Amino acid sequence: MLNGFKAATIGHTAVGLWTHPANRVREYGTLQYWMDTARTLERGLFDGLFIADSQGIVDVYQDSTDVTLREAIGVPVIDPMLLVSAMATATEHLGFAVTASTTYEKPFDLARKFATLDLVTNGRVGWNIVTSSSRSEAANFSLQKMIPHDERYTMADEFMEVVYKLWEHSWDDDAFVFDRERRVAVDPAKVRRIEHHGTYYDVPGCFISEPTRQRTPTLFQAGSSSAGRAFAARHAEGVFISVPRPDMAAGYVTKLRAEAAAAGRLPDSLKVFPLTTVVTAATDEEAWAKYRDYKSHQALEGNLARFSGLTHVDMSKLDPDEPLRYVDNDGIRGSLEVFTKADPTREWTPRQIADFLSVSTMGALVVGSPATVADQLERWVEEADVDGFNIADTLAGTTFPDFVDLVVPELQRRGRMWTEYEGETLREHFYGAGSARTRPDHPATGHRRG
């Protein structure tokens, strides 16, 4: 399984590469750019496009936004949810996983937005559930300080209960009858109030959108802290991880599947996708030359600023050549753990981290010919028990076409990738044709009537 990975912004996974003359990212504010991206991924039979998002600005490094603005680190950024309809129009099968925050969205409103997209795309929509880790987001949403890390996940659990009730319980499958003869559009006997009265949310009424193909959009999650992993084990169908080596991923995947089983779910209900940067060309030598070209555009200070924003640790205040140490905070703990606790083979300094992030982000880096890339992806599947990959769009207009034209045929030749789409909805890409609704072991299904 393959997802393309982007954000609706300029500088995302490879800070500094916006300066590369071949990078199309300046077009991020045009529909043509997004429609071209979607068409390319569908041509390569990708399962979906995953669009990351944040509603805050990176402001931890030097307690300033100067580097962030100069290097366009996640800014300017537009709302990815508003791009889905155009991309869906340009494609027939590709799914779209959009990031939205349970901390700052309202469950009723967000449920309606996803129901709308699921309806008009015929079930091709997914939700990447985040709890948001940016302190500037908290300020932008009128909070004096961030809600503590684990409490955000407690809120998210209740948020999910509300939206499951709205999507799965409020309307029967056949409530929308549209019977002109009897003058009954919606059968009142088949629509009910959800009467949710909880700790964080009070949502008493009935839903106002008709049932869609999936009802509940396909659910993704990327939290790697203990609270995030427990949340994923309960709710996620797709799980995104970011570690550089398969041996580091294997332990996480094992724990995640064990927690899913403890939560009453089938371990194979969770599909795990490591973030992966692929630089490919016809030969290994050409691919490495391309990688060196990319790296010549790196922004080391920009990488430190981005990493500071993710982890809430200001790298400007640390000795760049002293090993980084883990500290609990309200940032993305998994991002900090990757370079402090998760790798037993080395100690990482801020300078080394900045260099590593130049092209490869925090995930896997694979450079080489199609055969070399396929070998490495197979290694991840075999050693880490992952189900597919999030392919980062390192250089917009180049990375995805290169992967589609060079790597996809090699994966198909090896029987590692389908040669045509199966099913119509995004969830059917996960579980096969005929599986548009959540599986019996998923908590959303427990709210379903009949």
Q: How far apart are CA 435 and CA 268, in angstroms?
A: 14
Are 279 and 370 a contacting pair, CB within 8 Å? no
For residue 339, pLDDT over 80 is answered with: no
Residue type, 294: Y
pLDDT digits (tens, 9 = 90+) for 274-320: 999 999 999 999 999 999 999 999 998 888 898 888 788 888 888 88
Angstrom CA distances, 284 to 14, 288, 368, 373, stand at: 21, 6, 4, 9
User: Which pLDDT belongs to residue 28?
Assistant: 97
Of 42-51, 121-130, 348-357, which gets the smallest average pLDDT? 348-357
Residue 306 in domain: no
Domain assignment of residue 15, given as a range: 2-280+364-447
DSSP code string of 76-128: SB--GGGGHHHHHHT-SS-EEEEEEETTTS-HHHHHHHHHHHHHHTTS-EEEE
Residue 151 in domain: yes
pLDDT digits (tens, 9 = 90+) for 1-55: 999 999 999 988 889 999 999 999 999 999 999 999 999 999 999 999 999 998 8
Are 275 and 335 a contacting pair, CB within 8 Å? no
Residue 166 in domain: yes
Are 427 and 214 a contacting pair, CB within 8 Å? yes
User: Which pLDDT belongs to residue 187?
Assistant: 97
Q: What is the DSSP letter of 439?
A: P
Residue 316 in domain: no
**Closest residue by Cα to residue 397 from 15, 16, 1, 17:** 17
Q: What is the average per-residue pLDDT within 254-266?
A: 94
Q: Between 149-164 and 107-120, two packed helices, what is the crossing angle to 10 degrees?
A: 60
User: Which pLDDT belongs to residue 418?
Assistant: 95
Are 79 and 164 a contacting pair, CB within 8 Å? no
Residue 150 in domain: yes
Number of domains in the chain: 1
pTM of the model: 0.93
Per the listing, tokens 């981290």 go with 353
Residue type, 7: A
User: Which pLDDT belongs to residue 450?
Assistant: 59
Of 195-204, 330-339, 434-443, which gets the smallest average pLDDT? 330-339
**Closest residue by Cα to residue 42 from 417, 439, 404:** 404
Residues near 182 by beta carbon (within 8 Å), at least 6 away in sequence: none
User: Count of alpha carbons within 13 Å of 256, Cβ hemisphere only?
Assistant: 30
Residue 440 in domain: yes
Residue 300 in domain: no
Which residues on neighbouring strands pair with residue 420, listed in sequence order?
Answer: none
Phi, psi of 110 (to 5 degrees): -65, -40
Q: What is the mean pLDDT of the chain?
A: 93
Measured between its terminal Cα atoms, the distance across the chain in Å is: 32
Angstrom CA distances, 396 to 100, 361, 362, stand at: 23, 15, 19
- What CATH number does the domain containing 16 carry? 3.20.20.30
Phi, psi of 276 (to 5 degrees): -140, 130
Residue 203 in domain: yes
